[in-house]
Each structure stands twice: as structure tokens, then as C-alpha cells.
Chains A and B, each alone.
Chain A
């Protein structure tokens, strides 16, 4: 298994509170991604990173920000969580020269 961990694995929070999800990899891969999974939508890309301090928006980026200060860590922040952000969040990494992505175990976030 690719060395990808996500923390926390489960979180319940209240509307309006800030939330940060962490993705950590031990593979030293350049590309990292954040997806959210919702019933009827599959997985949708939120943000991605192609290097330290290099990030860009995905399909559903509104309400989310990301940061990558080290190769191994990619943080996803919800500045002010809303109920529509209740979802399962997946981090993925992409090896250079490969078109495959390897996924972390996911974080289930519930916003009440």
C-alpha cells in the first residue's frame, strides 16, 4: 500500500467552525489531490498540488482552501464549515511519470 494517511479519520463539527484535514505521504510524490465523495456524485476534485507551495483549484473548490508547505503534507481547510460540506474526503497522490493515483483511507466529516 502507498504510504498515505489522513487525519482525523472521523470528525463532527458545527456550522461556522473552521476545520483542517491533513494528508500525509511517505512516498515523496510531487502530485497530491483532495476529493470529496457524495452519493450520486462519485468523487469530485476539490484542489490539487503539483509541488510545494504550488496548488490549483479543482471542480468544487468554493469554500475550501489548501496549503502545502512540505512535500509530504497537504492540508485542506474549511474556513467556516457548512452542512453542505458534510462528506467523505479523500486524499490521493500521483507518482511522476505515472497516470495512476493512490488514495488515502478517507475522512468522514459531519457538519451539524
Chain B
């Protein structure tokens, strides 16, 4: 069974600074996807970034980037130039790349609550 671990329950960063959120996972699969979701106080789940395991290049989306270390089973999220609107709970998630895309079940970590301080 796959598991996802986020070892930082809470983090804080000053506005305009850079912060890195950690995520590790355990799987015997070779093909899979990793995701970071953001959940602001509104409770809406928002996809931040996605990484395909077969890609060596780290994914980036504007101020958000990941450090994907497949051998170490590590998938950290870096937020550059932190903004007040980045204050949210961040969830790391894993999905097997099933043949035919059959069920696409997400397995989530327990989340990291990030507070951006003015």
C-alpha cells in the first residue's frame, strides 16, 4: 500500500521569503503522479502543481516549484516570494498511473499548515 508523509504540521514564513514544504512517500510502483494541493481558509481544494514520475525535470508553476527525488521518494514544494495569499493548508498527494487510467485514486498526506507573516 502506498503512504504519504508530511512531517511538518505547521510552518511560518515572512512575506517575500522562500519556504520549502517536505513530503515523502512510499510505493513499489514505478509509474505514478505526485501532487501538491492548497486549501485556503475557504476550504476549496486547489491543485498547485503536478509531477509525473517518469519525468526527471522538476515541475514549476510560477512561484511554485518542486524538488522530486525519485530514488529517495521525496517530493518537496518550494514557494518563492511568499505572499499573504499563500497562507493555507498544503497537502501532498500520490496517485498510481494505472493502465487505462481506471480509477485514479488519490492518497493524501496529513497536510502542512503554512502561515505567511506580514
Q: Could you tell me if A41 and B110 are in contact, using CB atoms closer than 8 angstroms?
A: yes
Q: Could you tell me if B47 and A100 are in contact, using CB atoms closer than 8 angstroms?
A: yes
Give the residue of A40, A90, A94 whose beta carbon is less than 8 angstroms from that of B104. Answer: A94
Which of chain A's residues 58-112 have a Cβ closer than 8 Å to chain B?
A: 58, 88, 90, 92, 94, 96-103, 105-106
Q: Is the interface of A mostly helix, strand, loop or mixed?
A: strand
Q: Could you tell me if B111 and A42 are in contact, using CB atoms closer than 8 angstroms?
A: yes
Q: Could you tell me if A99 and B105 are in contact, using CB atoms closer than 8 angstroms?
A: no
**Which residues from chain B contact A27 at a C-beta distance below 8 Å?**
none
Q: Could you tell me if A99 and B108 are in contact, using CB atoms closer than 8 angstroms?
A: no
Number of B residues whose C-beta is below 8 Å from A? Answer: 23
Q: Could you tell me if B50 and A40 are in contact, using CB atoms closer than 8 angstroms?
A: no
* Per-position binary interface string of chain B over residues 98-109, scored 1 when its CB falls under 8 Å from any chain A CB and 0 otherwise: 000111111111
Q: Distance in Å from the Cβ of B42 to the closest Cβ of chain A?
A: 8
**Which residues from chain A contact B97 at a C-beta distance below 8 Å?**
99
Number of A residues whose C-beta is below 8 Å from B? Answer: 27
Residue of B whose beta carbon sits closest to that of A42 = B108
Determine the distance from Cα of A33 to Cα of B93 in the docked complex, in whole angstroms.
Answer: 15
Determine the distance from Cα of A35 to Cα of B105 in the docked complex, in whole angstroms.
Answer: 10
Q: Could you tell me if A50 and B103 are in contact, using CB atoms closer than 8 angstroms?
A: yes
B95 at the interface (CB under 8 A from A): yes
Q: Could you tell me if B45 and A99 are in contact, using CB atoms closer than 8 angstroms?
A: no
- With A43-B91, A90-B45 known as contacts, the answer to whether A97 contacts B101 (CB < 8 A) is yes
Determine the distance from Cα of A56 to Cα of B103 in the docked complex, in whole angstroms.
Answer: 10
Determine the distance from Cα of A100 to Cα of B101 in the docked complex, in whole angstroms.
Answer: 11
- With A41-B110, A42-B111, A99-B50 known as contacts, the answer to whether A106 contacts B105 (CB < 8 A) is no
* Per-position binary interface string of chain B over residues 8-50, scored 1 when its CB falls under 8 Å from any chain A CB and 0 otherwise: 0000000000000000000000000101000000011101001
Q: Could you tell me if B105 and A58 are in contact, using CB atoms closer than 8 angstroms?
A: yes
Determine the distance from Cα of A10 to Cα of B45 in the docked complex, in whole angstroms.
Answer: 17
User: Given A99-B33, A101-B106, 12 more contacts at CB 8 Å?
Assistant: A42-B108, A42-B109, A42-B110, A90-B45, A92-B45, A92-B106, A94-B104, A97-B101, A100-B35, A101-B47, A101-B104, A105-B43
Contacts from A to B (Cβ < 8 Å): 31, 33, 35, 40-45, 48, 50, 56, 58, 88, 90, 92, 94, 96-103, 105-106
